[in-house]
């Protein structure tokens, strides 16, 4: 009998963690004494806040950046960076077990050293946070404040009681885990993205509640690290915003990994019995109970709008949707803007950063840049990865735009076959009757890298006809994109064109 | 075997069609006209299979395989059963709101397996009832009763209720938990369901329901084919067992300069290309051995294959190109492609029968086989017994290929024609028929 899983969570304060904290929230930090007025005050030092601070400082603006907790926000501390680090370790174990697939010998005894995985995670997080060092920010001309913020008027706020005047402000407070309202969950204890990366011991049995991007990524990573993972999702498929075939491919991949997939299923009650967490599940009329050692919940996100006294500054907001902004990211108070997770539906680091840069240009330079003009890709880093840019077919249909999709399954791509990675596809959606790209979904290992080519084409207004002319190194997976473009070219050879061609060749 | 393969095409098809009809004759419960889902012991009734049986009787009469009076008698047995059935919607009833539970006890007709009240399977059953009513137009008391019952059973279906206040028809409902909380996305076999639901003079679905469903369609260029994507073959077949979709077009198909019949033909090309590419390297797959569709499967209890982890499925809708694909093929889905691509379907069928003679027993095709999974004697895994759905679709599609008689017959079903018009279909034979007399 193995010892019971230790469910207490606290980050081991090792050398990496000390370095990390010294960079992102030094204990001895003294807030600047300045009271402004600032040309731009930024609340929140996550990806959006940092991008804005750097951009504004580079322009020579007088700028203040206020952070409540850690510089770097969710992405660096409890989001993208630690999760991708963990996923890489997990994929190594998956490949070891699957070695025979590549004609390689699987190690006889594969034992997961979870402590080593998490040490690597903290080392890499600490290494990368050097780029978001508080001192470096301060040296670049940003006044960095730590503390709690609340608005005092339409053009002032306070940090731990110290009042700062501003001409313009940017709210970039991000989002926090949304805890589902399941009876007994809070009492039983659970992990969120904010705590899961502090685990030092692998939970033997893990229940993941919710099939959004982070839930899917972590479910697969923990399964591959040796947990027996069950994932429940109260919908027919994972990743509800992605297209059906992408989500279906992911469901199949999960099943292959041995994850217990429970779709159309919700958790109704949690209780603790003999140190185990006992969870009641329901799918329509089918009820069941599972026993696990840990529960990962709260992988959905809610905007951080509380405690800021937004009403005092006449800023409209909603607890679920966040701060209301127009297409220029301006709130109901014309001096105050918002960017990133606190106001956007797409809660991704790249969108957060880019929206913040727009705010800087609109707020400080009188720009009229629009969020809706951005072409933003995103990716869920499961295996296979699921990446998307632009419109979905259903969105085009809803707008009455005739849409046609050029699909290339990865099993038609030589490199995918040589790598035994045939799962997935490239789908490029075009406006029918033209070669203009509306959007694309790529499902494949490294889809996140592949999607960038489509994004480039969309931003540069390059259509499929031109993409078909771009020679791709052979054999590469991105060649599947050119293959889709060439399929488009073939559809231009109508019977009439073909007849003319035949006549000409037969001269 | 297979002496069948030495027969010329029409004789071969005649044997297979008659073999398929035999399923309904042999398995029917003589007391209530209900037909089991499969030929296996203790199989419950599938209401859709009853719909296929009701559609098969007119074919059998025309082909001289069954006396008209006997066909009417069998049809009436089933119609009377449904007419008298418990419609309270209780957990052990037969139906609710004019719909029926998917699986019923063959003796009592009560719901089994906690199955859902199924909208699509009810529609296939109703389509069978209307087929019978359109065919049996005799003046005798029995045929009169048959038509009256079919009309009553169609008119009492509350299609509007099945929207649950939403934009599209829900998949199902259970007394224990209400509507299944997920709907349909993408092209599916539901055109016949929507046509029946729109054509209802009593409880039609709302006018925006069909556009809401087709808004989830995906028009894709895959393997050089432009087509309305759906992975499993049966999706491309079921509605067209009854409805002649040649040359009539809804808004979507008008925009794409295609029609659903042509689309099903292209689906055959896509299947052939996929099995030719055979990404998972399954045994047997090639351009003349295809048929990924909804069918039985070997499930996970089978031994591991070639030291490689393969995932096996039981009854599942297999599809191309995204799967699921576990090496299991459905021969009936090949035969049911006959009207769309006769030469390709026959070439594949003959090839598969020559290669795997055991696919056929009593002149009926097994629902599925898996040549990658072999037993000690080297025989492929084969689903035991027969499935009623397969026999039904095979019988009807052979008939539509041979004589088009079911399609022609249902040109005269005003409910269906009205439903198609309300869904926005125009052109072709719809142009030539007049709008039904039912006031809306």
Q: What percent helix, strand, coil does chain A show, rounded to 5?
A: 35, 25, 40
Report residue B330: phi and psi, to 5°.
-115, 100
Q: Which residues of B59-87 are buried (b: 16+ CB within 10 A; e: fewer)?
A: bbbbbebbebeebbbbbbbbbebbbebeb
Would strands A38-43 and A162-171 be described as parallel, antiparallel, or unpaired? Answer: parallel
Q: Residue B439: pLDDT band by 50, 70, 90 thresholds?
A: very low
Q: B218 and chain A: CB distance < 8 Å anywhere?
A: yes
Residue A446: per-residue pLDDT: 94
The reply to whether residue B255 touches residue A402, judged by beta carbons under 8 angstroms, is yes
The reply to whether residue B181 touches residue A264, judged by beta carbons under 8 angstroms, is yes
Q: Which two tokens stand for residue B285?
A: 């797959």
Contact indicator for A354, A403 with CB cutoff of 8 Å: no
The reply to whether residue B279 touches residue A406, judged by beta carbons under 8 angstroms, is no
The reply to whether residue A487 touches residue B224, judged by beta carbons under 8 angstroms, is yes
Which residues make Cβ contacts (< 8 Å) with residue A348, sequence separation at least 6?
A: A376, A378
- CA nearest B38: which of B318, B322, B384? B384
Element (H, E) at A245: helix A244-257
Q: Give CA A254 to chain center in angstroms.
A: 19
Rounded Cα gap, residues B430 and B437, in angstroms:
15
Rounded Cα gap, residues B348 and B177, in angstroms:
44
Kindly list the strands in the beta sheet with A266-273, ordered across the sheet, starting from the edge strand earlier in the chain: A266-273, A276-283, A286-292
Kindly list the strands in the beta sheet with A437-444, ordered across the sheet, starting from the edge strand earlier in the chain: A377-380, A385-390, A437-444, A425-431, A403-409, B219-222, B225-228
Q: Residue B437: pLDDT band by 50, 70, 90 thresholds?
A: very low
Rounded Cα gap, residues B285 and B275, in angstroms:
5
Mean of the pLDDT values across residues A448-456? 98
Residue A8: per-residue pLDDT: 61
> Which residues of chain A lie closer than 8 angstroms to B185, CB-CB?
244
Average pLDDT, rounded, for chain B: 94
DSSP sequence for A344-379: -SS--HHHHHHHHHHHHHHHHS-----GGG---EEE
Contact indicator for B173, B117 with CB cutoff of 8 Å: yes
Which residues make Cβ contacts (< 8 Å) with residue A311, sequence separation at least 6?
A: none
Report residue A42: phi and psi, to 5°.
-115, 125
With a pLDDT cut of 90, the percent of chain B lying above it is 89
Least confident residue range of A256-270, B55-69, B196-210, B333-347 = A256-270
Rounded Cα gap, residues A252 and A250, in angstroms:
5
- CA nearest A88: which of A213, A204, A217? A217
The reply to whether residue B215 touches residue A397, judged by beta carbons under 8 angstroms, is yes
Per residue in B231-274, pLDDT tens?
A: 999 999 999 999 999 999 999 999 999 999 999 999 999 999 99
Element (H, E) at B295: strand B294-295
Residue with tokens 């025989």: B379
Write the DSSP symbol of residue B416. Answer: H
> Which residues of chain A lie closer than 8 angstroms to B255, CB-CB?
402
Residue A34: per-residue pLDDT: 81
Report residue B297: phi and psi, to 5°.
-150, 170
The reply to whether residue A249 touches residue B324, judged by beta carbons under 8 angstroms, is no
Facing residue for A100 by CB, picked from B176, B224, B307 = B307
Q: Which two tokens stand for residue B79?
A: 């119609």
The reply to whether residue B180 touches residue A284, judged by beta carbons under 8 angstroms, is yes
Rounded Cα gap, residues A353 and A349, in angstroms:
6
Facing residue for A252 by CB, picked from B226, B308, B323 = B323
Per residue in A11-25, pLDDT tens?
A: 777 888 888 888 888
Which has the higher per-residue pLDDT, B53 or A75? Answer: B53
Q: B92 and chain A: CB distance < 8 Å anywhere?
A: no
Q: Rounded to a whole number, what is the distance in Å from the CA of A487 to chain B's nearest CA?
A: 7
> Which residues of chain B lie closer than 8 angstroms to A422, CB-CB?
279-280
Facing residue for A490 by CB, picked from B224, B309, B311 = B224
**Cα nearest neighbour of B324 on chain A:** A252
> Which residues of chain A lie closer than 8 angstroms to B324, CB-CB?
252
Q: Indicate which of A407, A413, A438, A440 best probes the interface with B, i.e. most B CBs within 10 Å of its own CB.
A: A407
> Which residues of chain A lie closer than 8 angstroms to B176, CB-CB?
284-285
Which has the higher per-residue pLDDT, A285 or B8? Answer: B8
Facing residue for B324 by CB, picked from A252, A407, A488 = A252
Rounded Cα gap, residues A339 and A354, in angstroms:
9
Facing residue for A101 by CB, picked from B308, B321, B324 = B308
Contact indicator for A256, B309 with CB cutoff of 8 Å: yes
> Which residues of chain A lie closer than 8 angstroms to B280, CB-CB?
422
Residue B133: per-residue pLDDT: 98
Handedness of CA A495, A497, A501, A507 (dihedral sign): positive
The reply to whether residue B216 touches residue A394, judged by beta carbons under 8 angstroms, is yes
Facing residue for A405 by CB, picked from B186, B215, B220 = B220
Contact indicator for B345, B337 with CB cutoff of 8 Å: yes
Helix axes A349-364, A47-58, angle to 10 degrees: 40
Residue A75: per-residue pLDDT: 77
Beta bridge partners of A377: A389
Residue B183 has pLDDT above 80, yes or no: no
Contact indicator for A209, A268 with CB cutoff of 8 Å: no
Residue B438 has pLDDT above 60, yes or no: no
> Which residues of chain A lie closer than 8 angstroms to B177, CB-CB?
284-285
Mean of the pLDDT values across residues A131-159? 92
Per residue in B51-69, pLDDT tens?
A: 999 999 999 999 999 999 9
Which has the higher per-residue pLDDT, B15 or A8? Answer: B15
Least confident residue range of A19-23, A267-271, B140-144, B427-431 = A19-23
Q: What percent helix, strand, coil does chain B show, rounded to 5?
A: 45, 10, 45
Per residue in B303-351, pLDDT tens?
A: 544 434 457 888 889 999 998 899 999 999 999 999 999 999 999 999 9
The reply to whether residue A409 touches residue B224, judged by beta carbons under 8 angstroms, is no
Q: A285 and chain B: CB distance < 8 Å anywhere?
A: yes
Average pLDDT, rounded, for chain A: 92
Residue A194 has pLDDT above 90, yes or no: no
Residue A296: per-residue pLDDT: 95
The reply to whether residue B182 touches residue A255, judged by beta carbons under 8 angstroms, is no
Residue B1: per-residue pLDDT: 46
Facing residue for A405 by CB, picked from B186, B218, B308 = B218
**Cα nearest neighbour of A407 on chain B:** B222
Q: Rounded to a whole number, what is the distance in Å from the CA of B114 to chain A's nearest CA?
A: 9
The reply to whether residue B219 touches residue A405, judged by beta carbons under 8 angstroms, is yes
Show contacts of B213-218: CB within 8 Å, 24+ apart: B213/B168, B213/B169, B213/B184, B214/B250, B214/B251, B214/B252, B215/A394, B215/A397, B215/A398, B216/A394, B216/A397, B216/B184, B216/B185, B216/B186, B216/B187, B217/A397, B217/B186, B217/B187, B217/B252, B218/A243, B218/A393, B218/A405, B218/B186, B218/B187
> Which residues of chain A lie closer than 8 angstroms to B180, CB-CB?
264, 284
DSSP sequence for A131-164: GG-HHHHHHTTEEEEES-EEEEETTEEEETTEEE
Q: Which two tokens stand for residue A185?
A: 């969950």
Facing residue for A244 by CB, picked from B114, B185, B222 = B185
Rounded Cα gap, residues A490 and A464, in angstroms:
11
Contact indicator for B314, B299 with CB cutoff of 8 Å: yes
Facing residue for A249 by CB, picked from B181, B221, B322 = B322
Q: B184 and chain A: CB distance < 8 Å anywhere?
A: no
| CA distances from residue A255 to A28, A142, A210, A239 in whole angstroms, order as listed | 49, 49, 16, 16
Residue ranges of E strands in B327-433: 328-329, 360-361, 364-365, 369-374, 380-382
Per residue in B278-307, pLDDT tens?
A: 999 999 999 999 999 999 999 855 554 443
Q: B411 and chain A: CB distance < 8 Å anywhere?
A: no
Q: Which residues of B363-381 are buried (b: 16+ CB within 10 A; e: fewer)?
A: bbbbbbbbbbbeeeeeebb
How many beta-carbon pairs under 8 angstroms link A with B? Answer: 76
Residue B2: per-residue pLDDT: 52
Longest pairwise C-alpha distance within chain B? 66
Would strands A276-283 and A286-292 be described as parallel, antiparallel, or unpaired? Answer: antiparallel
Rounded Cα gap, residues B18 and A212, in angstroms:
51
Facing residue for B174 by CB, picked from A101, A284, A491 = A284
């Amino acid at each position: 009998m193995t010892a019971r899983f230790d469910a207490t969570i606290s980050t081991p304060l090792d050398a990496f963690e000390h370095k990390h904290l010294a960079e992102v929230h030094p204990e001895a930090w003294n807030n600047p004494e300045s009271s402004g007025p600032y040309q731009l005050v930024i609340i929140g030092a996550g990806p959006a806040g940092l991008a804005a601070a750097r951009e504004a400082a580079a322009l020579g603006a007088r700028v203040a950046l206020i952070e409540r907790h850690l510089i770097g926000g969710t992405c660096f501390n409890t989001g993208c960076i630690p999760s991708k680090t963990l996923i890489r370790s997990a994929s190594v174990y998956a490949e070891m077990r699957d070695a025979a697939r590549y004609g390689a010998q699987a190690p006889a005894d594969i034992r997961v050293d979870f402590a080593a995985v998490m040490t690597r995670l903290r080392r890499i997080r600490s290494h990368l946070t050097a780029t978001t060092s508080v001192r470096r920010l301060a040296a670049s001309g940003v006044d960095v404040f730590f503390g709690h913020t609340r608005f005092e008027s339409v053009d002032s706020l306070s940090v731990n009681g110290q009042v700062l005047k501003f001409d313009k402000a940017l709210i970039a407070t991000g989002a926090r885990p949304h805890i589902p309202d399941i009876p007994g969950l809070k009492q039983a204890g659970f992990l969120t993205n904010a705590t899961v990366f502090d685990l030092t011991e692998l939970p033997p049995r893990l229940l993941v509640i919710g099939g959004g991007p982070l839930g899917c990524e972590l479910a697969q990573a923990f399964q591959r690290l040796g947990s027996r993972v069950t994932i429940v999702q109260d919908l027919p498929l994972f990743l509800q915003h992605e297209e059906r075939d992408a989500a279906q491919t992911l469901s199949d991949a999960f099943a292959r990994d041995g994850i217990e997939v429970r779709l159309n299923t919700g958790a109704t009650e949690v209780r603790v019995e003999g140190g185990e967490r006992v969870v009641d599940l329901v799918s329509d009329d089918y009820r069941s109970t599972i026993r696990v050692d840990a529960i990962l919940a709260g992988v959905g996100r809610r905007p951080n709008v509380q405690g800021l006294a937004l009403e005092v500054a006449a800023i409209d907001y909603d607890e679920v949707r966040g701060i209301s902004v127009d297409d220029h990211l301006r709130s109901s108070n014309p001096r105050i803007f918002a960017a990133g997770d606190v106001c956007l539906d797409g809660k991704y680091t790249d969108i957060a950063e880019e929206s913040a840069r727009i705010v800087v240009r609109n707020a400080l330079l009188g720009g009229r840049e629009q969020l809706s003009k951005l072409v933003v890709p995103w990716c869920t880093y499961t295996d296979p990865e699921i990446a998307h840019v632009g419109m979905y077919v259903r969105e085009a249909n809803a707008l009455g735009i005739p849409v046609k999709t050029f699909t290339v399954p990865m099993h038609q791509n030589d490199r995918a076959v040589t790598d035994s990675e045939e799962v997935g596809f490239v789908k490029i959606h075009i406006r029918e009757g033209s070669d203009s790209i509306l959007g694309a979904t790529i499902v494949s290992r490294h889809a996140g890298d592949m999607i960038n080519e489509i994004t480039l084409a969309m931003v540069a207004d390059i259509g499929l006809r031109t993409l078909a002319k771009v020679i791709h190194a052979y054999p590469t997976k991105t060649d599947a994109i050119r293959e889709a473009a060439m399929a488009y070219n073939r559809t231009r050879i109508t019977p009439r064109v073909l007849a003319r061609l035949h006549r000409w060749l037969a001269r | 075997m297979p002496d069948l393969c030495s027969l010329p095409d029409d004789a071969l098809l005649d044997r297979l069609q008659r073999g398929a009809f035999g399923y309904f004759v042999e398995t029917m419960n003589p007391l209530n006209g209900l037909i089991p889902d499969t030929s296996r012991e203790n199989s419950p009734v599938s209401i859709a299979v009853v719909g296929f049986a009701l559609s098969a009787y007119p074919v059998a009469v025309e082909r001289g395989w069954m006396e008209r009076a006997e066909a009417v008698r069998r049809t009436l047995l089933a119609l009377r059963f449904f007419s008298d059935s418990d419609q309270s919607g209780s957990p052990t009833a037969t139906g609710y709101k004019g719909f029926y539970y998917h699986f019923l006890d063959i003796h009592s007709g009560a719901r089994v397996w906690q199955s859902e009240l199924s909208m699509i399977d009810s529609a296939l059953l109703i389509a069978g009832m209307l087929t019978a009513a359109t065919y049996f137009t005799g003046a005798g008391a029995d045929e009169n009763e048959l038509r009256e019952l079919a009309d009553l059973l169609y008119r009492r279906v509350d299609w509007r209720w099945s929207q649950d206040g939403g934009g599209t028809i829900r998949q199902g409902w259970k007394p224990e938990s209400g509507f299944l909380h997920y709907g349909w996305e993408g092209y599916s076999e539901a055109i016949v369901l929507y046509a029946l639901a729109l054509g209802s003079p009593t409880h039609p679905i709302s006018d925006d329901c069909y556009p809401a469903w087709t808004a989830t369609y995906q028009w894709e260029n895959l393997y050089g084919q432009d087509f309305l994507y759906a992975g499993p073959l049966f999706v491309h077949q079921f509605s067209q067992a009854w409805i002649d979709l040649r040359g009539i077009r809804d808004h979507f198909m008008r925009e794409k300069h295609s029609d659903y019949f042509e689309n099903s033909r292209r689906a055959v090309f896509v299947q052939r290309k996929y099995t030719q590419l055979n990404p998972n390297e399954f045994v047997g797959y090639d351009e003349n051995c295809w048929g990924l569709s909804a069918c039985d499967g070997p499930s996970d209890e089978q031994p591991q294959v070639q030291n490689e982890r393969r995932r096996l499925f039981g009854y599942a809708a297999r599809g191309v190109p995204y799967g699921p694909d576990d090496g299991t093929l459905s021969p009936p889905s090949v035969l049911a492609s006959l009207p769309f691509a006769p030469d390709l379907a026959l070439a594949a069928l003959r090839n598969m029968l020559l290669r795997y003679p055991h696919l056929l027993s009593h002149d009926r095709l097994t629902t599925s086989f898996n040549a990658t999974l072999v037993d000690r004697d080297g025989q492929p895994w084969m689903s035991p017994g027969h499935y009623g759905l397969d026999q039904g679709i095979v019988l009807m599609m052979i008939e539509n290929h041979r004589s088009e008689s079911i399609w022609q017959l249902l040109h005269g079903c005003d409910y269906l024609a009205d439903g198609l018009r309300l869904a926005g279909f125009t052109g072709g034979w719809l142009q030539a028929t007049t709008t039904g007399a039912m006031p809306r």
